[in-house]
Chains A and B, each alone.
Chain A
Amino acid sequence: MVKVFIYPATSLILSDMVARFGHEPLGSAIGIRERIQTPGIESPPLQITPEEPKKGLKWAAVEVPSGVRGRMAVYGPLIEEAEAAIIIRDPDYAFGCMGCARTNELIQFHLRHKEIPLLDLAYPTSDEEGVGFVAAIKEFLTGLKTEGSA
């Protein structure tokens, strides 16, 4: 079993796929709702206090906006824990979505610079691409399993 960081971290579909192939998904335990009644698209499930942006200083300097640092306090430790990662570029909001573009850039940067197996995929725009998309994820996750059990 490998700990796989998923991006977008809110994607329940990716989270489910990772779990189905016997790995542990690292992401946020929230899905994107069809109607948004919360402050942000991916409002945190727990109360974040002003301490989180300070903890986020480990991953982003003080001149970085507090919202980025607060998010990094949540995702930074997961990135450190990750043994593999899947990044889906420009996903549809319904697939999974994270509210701050600057944090998204920083998360992807950290994942790409971590020497772990990484699947970097564009979100499919047609049925045909969709089939290839799922196949690519399956192949990546199966490969991880092989490596893990070797």
Chain B
Amino acid sequence: MTEKVRIAQLSCGPEYSGVQKEIYDAAAMVDAEVFFPDIALADVQQGFSEFGLDVRSPDLKLAIARAKALVEGRIDADAVFIATCFRCAEAAIVRNELRRYIHENSTLPVVSYSFTERTTSGTLLTRMEALTTIARRRALLAREEQEGITMGIDSGSSTTKAVIMKDNEIVGTGWLPTTEVLKSADGVVELALQEAGLRFEDIEAIGTTGYGRYLIGKKYNAQLVQEELTVNSKGAVYLADRQHGSATVIDIGGMDNKAITVQDGIPGTFTMGGICAGASGRFLEMTAKRLGVDITELGPLAMKGMEDTVPMNSYCIVFGTQSLVNALAEGSSREDVAAAACHSVAEQVFEQQLQEVDIKEPVIMVGGTSLIQGLVRAMGELLQTEIVVPPYSQYIGSVGSALLASGFIRGE
């Protein structure tokens, strides 16, 4: 059994919100333990005075003092989890500043979350898994080249993808909409094998990721079953050839979105969101359907349109759809509506998630939605930077899995 990863919790409100047990449960699922840095009452006063953020809530002052103790090495930890109540402005400021402070002044992986009483261990699982992976598998994540013949399978909420890699080259791909998880996986594996001209027995190691990773991992006896935050960031910097230095990875998925800052291929801070489908690829799928075009045609259509001419706010998918229908009824062109939909999704991601990570260039967009040029353009305009979309960006999870899985061929 591996040694437990020790996650230091800096928080305000989880006990009185009734979610502390959920945090413990999520950590236990990934063989980690949550602990509270032991500090003296006197340190609380000193800690926040030195930090310079004079908040009113004593528990937030306690979180600041604990963060200082971690950064200064007075307390040992493998990772940090910051959690505060959703809708508390004071806590949001502290959460943000502490995440930045720890990221800039230590090598500790850190993730933050704002909870409600409805937060469950399932919601926290992917975040905890990513935290423990970074802490536990630094050596594996340092891998920069794929070796041997490996396969990566990404079972996403909308689509299932497979990639076969051989000697650092992609030799086969498969892509299908996700229907039945296992059936879709079997389909993409077959497609990838056909394209690669290989038999299943030739595959030396397999990695799985995405929502169906456990089920598929079990069926195919995968050596690596890994959440998509670490896998996608690894795949992104590998495909974009930015394995050294800093980068930001944005993945607007079918069900949730990820924004990850990466340093030398290893995730530093990340956010994962998806409260409403209005800020996800799902809204763009709906838009394409309403406009009568295939999703692959939405991007080129949007590139011809002017988003400013159509008011659209997809904060909520229902209202977003309403704006879409109204705009078409008022005679707006399909091009303008497509552009407005892309802009709206980019804006939601920008407002809801990208404020929580420090954007470091280059910004790499990955996942199926990165092929929608209109969305990439809108994101670039909002971030005022040129977005990098690497080749095979829609296969990012599979490529990351195949790359990391090759570490298991020789038992790393």
Contacts and interface: CB of A to CB of B under 8 A. Distances in A.
B56 A50 contact: no
A47 B15 CA distance: 8
26 contacts: A34-B40, A36-B38, A36-B44, A39-B14, A39-B36, A40-B13, A41-B62, A48-B20, A65-B17, A65-B87, A65-B91, A66-B86, A66-B116, A66-B117, A67-B12, A68-B13, A70-B13, A74-B16, A94-B41, A98-B58, A99-B12, A99-B13, A100-B12, A100-B16, A101-B55, A101-B90
Interface residues of A, number: 38
Interface in A93-124: 93-94, 97-102
B163 to A, nearest CB: 41
Contact of B57 (A34, A44, A63, A100): A100
A52 B118 CA distance: 12
Given A36-B38, A54-B117, A71 B18 contact: no
A68 B18 contact: no
Contacts of A64: 87
A37 interface: yes
B16 A52 contact: yes
A41 B13 CA distance: 10
Interface in A2-45: 32-41, 43-44
A41 B19 contact: no
Interface in B60-98: 62, 84-88, 90-91
A53 interface: yes
B59 interface: yes
Given A39-B36, A41-B62, A53-B117, A70 B57 contact: no
B215 interface: no
B43 to A, nearest CB: 9
A99 B57 contact: yes
A39 B85 contact: no
A36 B16 contact: no
Interface of A: 32-41, 43-44, 47-54, 63-71, 74, 93-94, 97-102
A69 B116 CA distance: 11
B62 A34 contact: no
B58 A39 contact: no
Interface in B214-235: none
Contacts of A36: 36, 38-41, 44, 62
Given A100-B57, A102-B88, A65 B13 contact: yes
A101 B48 CA distance: 15
Given A41-B62, A66-B116, A33 B16 contact: no
Contacts of B9: 39
A48 B118 CA distance: 13
A63 B87 contact: yes
A41 B87 contact: no
A70 B117 contact: yes
B309 interface: no
A53 B21 CA distance: 15
Nearest to B35: A37
A32 B36 CA distance: 16
B115 interface: yes
B106 interface: no
Given A53-B117, A67-B12, A99 B18 contact: no
